[in-house]
Chain A
Amino acid sequence: MISCDLLVVTAPYTETDYPLQAPAVIKASVIEHGYTANTHDINNDFLKLLNIDVKDFQTLKNFFAFGTMQDKTNIDIIKSYVRDTAEKILHMYNPKSIAVSVFTYQCQTFSEMFAKAIRKIDPNIVLIFGGQGIMTEGINSSGGWVKKLKERNIIDHYIVSEGERAIIDLLKNGKGHGINNTDWRQQLDLERSPVPDYGDYNLNDYKGDSLMITGSRGCVRRCSFCDIHKHWKKFVFRSGDSIANEMIEQSKRYQKYNFNFTDSLINGSMKAYRDLITVMSEYNHNASHKITWGGQFIVRGLKSMTAEDWRLTKLAGGDHLLLGVESGSETVRDHMKKQFSNQDLDEFVDQAYKQKIKLSFLMIVGYPTETIVDFEQTLDMFKKYHKYQDIIDSVALGSTLGVLPGTPLAEEHRHSFDLNNGENFWTFKSNKELTFKERIRRRILLAEELIELGYTVSKNEDQLKFLHFLWTSYKNKQKQGVIDLNTNDLKDQKYS
């Protein structure tokens, strides 16, 4: 049995093929300050249950993710699973404190049950909750889930937002910004964060043969449909050297050679980006195991991202970029404040094609100002890019635009919307023809056209099923719940 000051665990249910980064970051930070720490990826243990007992997995998953179940006699299966997990964890690590990383809303049910189980076994263990999931409860929620847990003494503390600094304040002083309050302060110097410590993970357990890396937080844009600027007030980034060094160091330590950036955009700062690709291209030139990486990227024309930048991007290992293209219409993108022209996009795609770098297009169908002409321009764009299909890996069409709380659309344009009881059900006063039905119609047409052209539309069937459900709710004048605001898929997080 290990005895540690702090054990950091993940909580089901998050759908991912990758090792979740938060516990590794917290562990590294805590160790740097002289404490002992371990991590355990309970979520991954849970995901492996799928290979052992599909029926139990589904029962547990539905209960953890959705908080409800059809057959209440199954509650014993769920209670046993949580109790056994708590006992196993305590037996393995004997921690003084346990921090639970509540990644999304859909981790709340397990986390709460787990905390209760730990309390029952050993009430002296200090329980701490953190992660985006402690606050993300959707517009219809009363909020305060985590506050109530603290009031009821189910947990001792909660940490809002960036935990790597706050956990140290908590361990040292028992208080600080973001500890049991929402007065957290954004960390402006990311260079000071230690390299994530995956020492307790069995990295061969994960299907996605990659590690996550964070080069920046926040965004340089303020897109009308996105709420990220609400959370991260400033765009802060690490130097290219620092990011490159982390990739090199981690690849040597863990023999993992592919990295996924968690950033909203890898190339937010072109200075840092150029430093990154310069160091990485030099490293890869001589490396026996070349490093590759990918993540969300901002579209830039050749004026700001040159052909030389593209050449180095390829040599540096850039192999898969996700682009928020959103629309083929410049007018629509201008309203979104995307700040790139059709020419910029043409140049970008052409360069990616020349360098054989894969792209994924993220699209929004039915933006409030989208006319039928704008929509046709989106269709035309995909016809035009047909010749680049070898590198356009996938197109994500989503489930039509939802007006999310905290976004400029929801705040600055609120008087122009009738929300009709749901984030997806809106109508826009100056474009009344664009009803929810019309948005679905365009969504269907675009998917059909793309498939006909030979593109891969990612998760098309699932999203159409979801739209069908939303449509049924809309027809019946039902209120749209928090359902659309949260997802258990790591790659599909809508909420910042």
Chain B
Amino acid sequence: MIELELKLHVMNYNGGPCIKIHDGSKTLFNKTLNNAGINILNLNSDMTFPGKIIIQQYGKDMTRDTKLDKNGKILDDKGIVIQSVKIHDVLLEYELYRFDFIKEDGTVLNNNYLGFNGKYVIDIDKNNLYEWHSGWQKLIVSEIEDYSYEKFRAEIFSEKLDQ
């Protein structure tokens, strides 16, 4: 049994987004999230690896479910931001910006904001979850762009207690 924990930030305009979560073979969750803000979903799956976790938003009407001002700026929306996904003891955060969000028209975006109908796919394409995660960790380290020595140094030398 694989334990999943999803931390989602919900924008609940017009009743909130309809979210379905499945593990490739079974639907684990299918509800409208109508509470704005952070929602934590704890789910169990019988999935094996390789496997996929799919987070789907459906039923959003782009003409009604996004509130815009006269300049086209989004004032409120129906959607979710996936803040973290924990699969067993593997926590995904930075990786979430890298996975595919496939819109209904087939367009692929790489971000963790589900503002359209479509499927966000966490494709665990190895039979060992840790190896798969390690691959992402290494890739991210090799591509770190937002590193700042000054910020890092300031944090390390701050008086804030160690974890």
Contact = CB atoms under 8 A, between A and B. Distances in A.
Given A444-B156, A477-B91, A479-B90, A68 B128 contact: no
B98 interface: yes
Interface stretch (A80-88, A262-270, A460-468): A460-468
Contacts of A437: 156, 162-163
Interface stretch (B29-37, B60-68, B72-80, B138-146): B138-146
B116 to A, nearest CB: 19
15 contacts: A62-B139, A67-B131, A67-B135, A72-B100, A140-B131, A141-B130, A436-B163, A437-B163, A465-B141, A466-B141, A472-B94, A477-B91, A477-B163, A479-B91, A481-B134
Contact of B93 (A138, A438, A467, A476): A476
Given A142-B128, A436-B162, A482 B142 contact: no
Contacts of A436: 162-163
B24 to A, nearest CB: 16
Given A138-B134, A141-B130, A464-B149, A471 B156 contact: yes
B125 interface: yes
B133 interface: yes
Contacts of B134: 66, 138, 140, 481-483
Interface in A175-220: none
A124 B133 CA distance: 36
A478 interface: yes
Main secondary structure of the interface of A (DSSP, over half): helix
Contact of B142 (A62, A471, A481): A62
A423 interface: no
A441 B156 contact: yes
Contacts of A138: 130, 134
B26 interface: no
Contact of A65 (B110, B125, B138, B147): B138
A294 to B, nearest CB: 29
Contact of A68 (B100, B130, B132): B132
Interface of A: 62, 65-70, 72, 137-138, 140-142, 435-438, 440-441, 444, 461, 464-469, 471-479, 481-483
A476 B130 CA distance: 17
Contacts of A62: 139, 142
B70 interface: no
A421 to B, nearest CB: 8
Given A468-B147, A469-B141, A474-B163, A482 B153 contact: no
Contacts of A479: 89-91, 130
Nearest to B121: A72
Contact of B91 (A141, A440, A471, A478): A478
Given A68-B139, A476-B91, A481 B125 contact: no
A359 B93 CA distance: 42
A68 B156 contact: no
Max chain B CB contacts within 10 Å: which of A436, A464, A474, A483? Answer: A483
Given A62-B139, A436-B162, A475-B163, A70 B110 contact: yes
Nearest to B129: A140
B133 A481 contact: yes
Contact of A469 (B130, B135, B140, B155): B140
A481 B141 CA distance: 12
Contact of B147 (A72, A141, A465, A477): A465
Nearest to B163: A475
Given A441-B156, A468-B144, A66 B162 contact: no
A465 B138 CA distance: 12
A140 B129 CA distance: 9
Contacts of B123: 72
A466 B142 CA distance: 9
A366 to B, nearest CB: 12
A317 B139 CA distance: 41
A99 to B, nearest CB: 24
B124 to A, nearest CB: 10
B137 interface: yes
Contacts of B140: 469
Interface in B104-139: 110, 123, 125-126, 128, 130-139
Nearest to A69: B139
A472 B134 CA distance: 15
